[in-house]
Amino acid sequence: VLGTTGFVVVNRPSADGLLRSARPLPEPFTVPLPIPAAARPVRVEGDTDFYALTQRVADVEILPGVRTQVWGYDGSFPGPTFHLRQGRRAVVEVRNSLPVPTSMHLHGGVMPPDSDGYPTDLVKPSGAKQYTYPMRQRAATLWYHDHRMDYTAPQVWRGLAGMCLVSDAEEENLPLPKEQYDVPLLLCDRAFDEDGSFLYPSLESGPGVQPGYDNGVLGDVILVNGAPWPVMDVDATRYRLRLVNGSNARRYELALEPGGQLTQIGSDVGLLDRPRTHESLIITPGERFDVVVDFSQYPVGSEITLTNRLDGPVMRFRVVRRGPSSDPLPERLASWEKLMPESAVETRTFDFRATPHHGMRMWTINGEPFNPDTSLASPRLGTVERWRLSSDFHHPVHLHLAHFQVLARNGRAPEERDAGWKDTVDVRPYEVVEVLARFEGYRGRYMMHCHNLEHEDMAMMANFDIS
Ligand code: C2O
Ligand code: CU
C-alpha cells in the first residue's frame, strides 16, 4: 500500500521506535566512506554565485550490490556539498521533479524569510524556486534538508539532506587541516526492506507514524555520508571531521575506540574561541560538532572505531600510512563576543511537551501544536533575549535564523559541549536549558521546533516574528 508519503506502509508497531531491516545487512567497515560531490556554481556574476539543484528520484547503491530508491538533491544522498564563502552571495535555483511538494531549509543559515524554507512555502511538483543566501555569516558547518509541513521526517528519511561548509578569512588564516584532511561526515540511520528500499512506518491516512514511533523513528543501519558503517583510510596526521547529525531521532554519544580525544574546534554555527577536548560528545539531531582528531597518535596499521556509546559502531578509520606532520592546533581560534545575561531585553519560556489535544496526544510548545498563522513571540531586530527551554523528553530545540549561546542547564553552568554559537541545543527530560539568542539579520516570520523530525511533524513547532 502506498501511503501519502509514497512509502510502502509497514505495519510494524514498535515498542522502542526501532525499525528493523527485513534483509541481510553488510559487515561493518567494509564499504569505503564516500565523500559527497561538491556543488559547482552554474554562473558567477560579481559577488554572487548561482547554483542549480534538482530534487529527483534516483536509484543508488547504499548496501553493496543492492539498489535503493532515494529522493535526492541532484539525485544523490546525501546531496552535493556546498562550499560557500562569507561575503559571496549564493543563489540556489531548486527544481522539484519529485511527486510531492518540498521546501528546502539551510539549517544554521541567516537569510531573508522567503528563502528560509518555511514549512508552507512549498515548491510544487514540476515547480522551481530561487533561494538566496546572503552569506554574511561566519565560517561554519551547516546542512540543508527538506522542511515540508507534516512530512519533513519521511522526506528527509528518503534522502533530502546535504551539507554546506561556509568559510571566511579568519578561519582560512588558521592552521587547521584542509582539503582531503577536512572531512564532512553526515550521520543518519535507516532501515531497509527485503528489496533494498527504505522502510518507514508511515500512516496510510496522512501524516504521522505508526504506534510506538511517536518518540521518533530509529533505523538499525548507521549511514555515514550515505554508506553503512563505512571505513576510511587515513594518514597518520590531523584530520578535521565535521560531524553532522542528520538522523530523524537518533542521539549519539560519539567516542573513539580503543581510545583517543575529540578536540572540538567548532559548534553548530562557527569556530569556538579555543579548542576543547572531549572523551565523548553527545550529538542530537540537527547539531554539528567540528572536531580535530590526531591520527598520528596511533601507529600505522591501527584501526580506530568511531562509536556511539548509546548504541554501537558508526564507522572506522584505518591508519594506513605516515602523514605530513601538521602544525599544532592554535590556542586561539575565532574571536566573538560572549553574550551576557544583562544584555537580554526579554525573558521568555517555551515548554516542549506532549499534551492531549482534541483527544489526541500531540507534541506541543507551551501547550500549542503548530499553527502557521500564529506566533509565540515577537523579538525586536538587533536584540538579545533569554529563552528558557523546558521539556518532558529529549527534545533537540532548533531556532531558525537566530544563533544563540547556552547560558545554563537547570540553573547550573552549561556543559563543555554547549560552548560557542549554536542553533540547536539538546534539551533532556525535565531539564531547563537557558539560551541567549540574538535576533539579527532580517525582520519577518521564522520558527523554532524540535529537531526530532517525527516530533516536528507531530506539530512541535512555533513561529516567532522579528519586528
Ligand atoms: Cu534543520 Cu527547521 O530545521
Ligand atoms: Cu522533540
For the chain, list the domains and their CATH numbers.
Answer: 18-169 (2.60.40.420), 179-194+205-322 (2.60.40.420), 341-466 (2.60.40.420)
Q: What is the pLDDT of residue 5?
A: 63
Return the number of other C-beta atoms located less than 10 Å from residue 10's C-beta: 18
Q: Using the mean position of ligand 1's atoms as its centre, give its distance from the Cα of residue 133 in Å.
A: 16
What are the pLDDT digits (tens) for 99-114? 999 999 999 999 999 9
Asked casually if ipTM beats, i.e. exceeds, 0.90, the reply is yes
Instruction: Tell me how far the alpha carbon of residue 412 is from its chain's centroid.
Output: 27
Residue positions counted in the chain = 467
Give the position, in ligand 1's atom list, of the atom nearest the Cα of 456. 2
Per-residue pLDDT at 1: 42
Cα–Cα dist 6/13, whole Å: 19
HSE-up of residue 360 (Cα within 13 Å, Cβ side):
11
Q: Which three cell numbers stand for residue 449?
A: 521546533
In one-letter notation, the amino acid at residue 389 is: L
Structural contact between residues 147 and 370, judged by C-beta atoms closer than 8 angstroms? no
Judge if the beta carbon of residue 449 lies within 6 A of ligand 1: yes
Please name the residue whose Cα sits nearest to atom 3 of ligand 1: 107
What distance in angstroms lies between residue 365's CA and the mean position of ligand 2's atoms? 10
Ligand 2 centroid–CA 358 distance in Å is: 20
Residue 15 has what pLDDT?
A: 74
Nearest ligand to the C-alpha atom of residue 392: 2
Q: Supply angle C-alpha 286, 240, 55, rounded to 5.
A: 45
Could you tell me if the CB of 138 is within 6 A of ligand 1? no
Pairing of strands 18-19, 218-219: parallel
- Tell me, in angstroms, the distance from the centre of ligand 1 to residue 147's CA: 7
Instruction: State the Cα angle at 126 between 125 and 128, rounded to 5°.
Output: 100
Contact 283, 289 (CB under 8 A): yes
Nearest atom in ligand 1 to the alpha carbon of residue 447 is 2
CA of 105 to the centre of ligand 1 (A): 6
How many Cβ atoms sit within 10 Å of the Cβ of residue 322?
11
CB 430 within 8 A of CB 409: no
**Stretches in the chain below the pLDDT threshold 70:** 1-11, 13
Please give the C-alpha separations between residue 346 and each of 55, 368, 381, 403, in angstroms, as whole numbers: 41, 21, 13, 16
Is the CB of residue 105 below 6 angstroms from any atom belonging to ligand 1? yes
Exposed/middle/buried for residue 87 (C-beta within 10 Å: 0-12, 13-18, 19+): exposed
Please check whether residue 51 is in contact with residue 93, taking contact to mean a CB–CB distance below 8 angstroms.
yes
**Is the CB–ligand 1 distance for residue 285 below 6 Å?**
no
| Nearby residues for ligand 2 (ion, Cβ within 5 Å) | 395, 450, 452, 455
d(CA 106, CA 165): 11
Note the pLDDT tens digit of each residue in 53-100: 999 999 999 999 999 999 999 999 999 999 999 999 999 999 999 999
Q: Is 287 exposed, middle or buried (0-12, 13-18, 19+ CB in 10 A)?
A: buried
